[in-house]
Amino acid sequence: MDFVIKKTESTNRTIRMPIHLMNKIDELASKNSISFNQLVIQCCEFALEHIKDENLENDNKTSG
């Protein structure tokens, strides 16, 4: 098997978060020796994978 280098695409986006949430994320990232960014990505991916189907259905109805 050959080694294949994978490049993931990303983009910059400015978001606003409550200070208390930023502090909790920053603390958790530090305790687990990962970047703030990586923890936010993992949290978002987890939330999207576990979102209830009814939320997705409602979203589809309102978007077209």
pTM for the model stands at 0.69
- Phi, psi dihedrals of residue 30, rounded to the nearest 5°: -60, -45
- Cβ atoms 32, 18 nearer than 8 A: no
Is 13 within a domain? no
Is 55 within a domain? yes
* CA 45 to each of CA 2, 7, 12, 38, 50: distance values in angstroms, whole numbers, following the listed order: 28, 18, 17, 11, 9
The Cα 13–Cα 39 span in angstroms is: 16
Say what the pLDDT of residue 13 is. Answer: 93
Q: How many domains does the chain have?
A: 1
Is 52 within a domain? yes
Q: Which domain holds residue 42?
A: 19-63
Is 14 within a domain? no
Say what the pLDDT of residue 59 is. Answer: 58
Query: From the first residue on, what is the mean pLDDT of each consecutive set of 10 residues in the chain (64 residues)?
Result: 87 96 97 95 93 67 57
